[in-house]
Structure 1
Amino acid sequence: MVLLESQVKLKTGSIAPDFELLGIDDKKHSLNDYSNYKGILVIFMCNHCPYVKAKVDALNELYEKFGNEIAIIGINSNDSTDYPEDSFEAMKETAKEKGFKFDYLVDETQEVAKKYGAMCTPDPFLFNSQKQLVFHGRIDNAMKPDDSPTEKTMINNMQKLLSGEKIENDFDPSIGCSIKWKEN
């Protein structure tokens, strides 16, 4: 298992790359579907990564706190041929099992992950209502699956976004398993 830190491809102020992806609700979702929100949180994630599994409660807490005001979108870009536990069917099972209420989409071609510069799972990107990047980075400061967070980084930044405050530290690398890229 390769551990990666997220890297910067999109800079603060960059516009969120558009996408049209199939969700576990069997509907296509595009970025424009989320235009009525005060912000958009895109999280590159998957089913099998221990780093994502450790954040299940934190992901659900983000949705409970902010889901009405900030759209939360999980995107799985892993190669499900080599990692069948990240297949579309497994995504549906995982979401049901873990109680995910946010949209969970599959990036079959991996093009969306490449456009965003996503490297690891989880790799979160927070955008304002104009779809400009305001924060790229960790959900909290628990960097290993067994750690307990002492700082809820994403909650703090989502609150700042909603109250119109500037997010000073706009890049705070997330750590996780590498996205499982397809062999070319």
Structure 2
Amino acid sequence: MLLDTPLCDFGWKAPDFTLKSFDGKEYTLPEQVGDNGLLVAFICNHCPYVIAAVERLAKDAVTLKAQGINTVAVMSNDYLLYPADSPANMKLFAEKYQFIFPYLVDEDQSIGKAYGATCTPDFFGFNNVSELQYRGRLDDAGSGDSDGRTPELLDAMRLVAQTGTGPAEQQSSVGCSIKWR
């Protein structure tokens, strides 16, 4: 099912989390916020929208890291019904796309629900005090050619790094529904 995400609720505070990565290491929200912000990306391994964008996401995360913005990815799907999203497959996915960021398992789906995540991919860009400043798509390339893309998320997060505030104009992300229990 194709879904559009809601638009940005500027200033909304990021719900705290403690989640484990596919290898069992724990991560918390406060330790993940960079000097200039944090990108929380709800993704999974099997969604065609994620697969179409994941290389660009991985590259953009490297650029953001250099600008003081960290990234975490959260997988909230019910992986018992969708084994392609299992922690073992998350590890393979993260290695394949050379993630420099933690890829976390939302085992009980509480974090996806707390954030109001609706689809994969779903992007939440926070400033350095964990206030939401971007809720939009990665770019305008969709599943097509990315050579001439406008990197909307990257540009928005650069603005957040410089000013603490995201752009007024944002295009919602589109993807597959999160697989709730």
Tell me if TM exceeds 0.5. Answer: yes
Return closer, same or farther for 1:96/1:41 CA change in 2, 3 Å cut-off. same
Q: Which runs of 5+ in 2 are unaligned?
A: none
Matched, 1:24 2:17: no
Conservation of the 8 A alpha-carbon contact between 2:6 and 2:135: no
**Within 5 A, what are the aligned runs for 1:68-87?**
68=66, 69-87=68-86
SS of corresponding position for 1:138 = coil
Residue in structure 2 matching 1:33, options 31, 34, 44: 31
Matched, 1:43 2:48: no
| Number of residue-to-residue matches in the alignment | 179
AA in 1 matched with 2:123 = P
* Residue equivalent to 1:141: 140
SS of corresponding position for 2:135 = strand
AA in 1 matched with 2:31 = D
**Within 5 A, what are the aligned runs for 1:1-184?**
2-8=1-7, 11-68=9-66, 69-143=68-142, 145-148=143-146, 150-164=149-163, 166-169=165-168, 171-182=170-181
TM-score (normalised: structure 2): 0.92
CA distance in 2, matches of 1:163, 1:154: 14
Deviation digits for residues 37-65 of structure 1 (CA, Å, limit 9, x no counterpart): 31000000000111101112211111221
Using the TM superposition, name which of 66-75 and 41-50 deviates more. Answer: 66-75
Deviation at 1:165, TM superposition (A): 6.7
TM-score (normalised: structure 1): 0.91
AA in 1 matched with 2:44 = C
Conservation of the 8 A alpha-carbon contact between 2:125 and 2:134: yes
CA distance in 2, matches of 1:36, 1:146: 31
Q: Which runs of 5+ in 1 are unaligned?
A: none
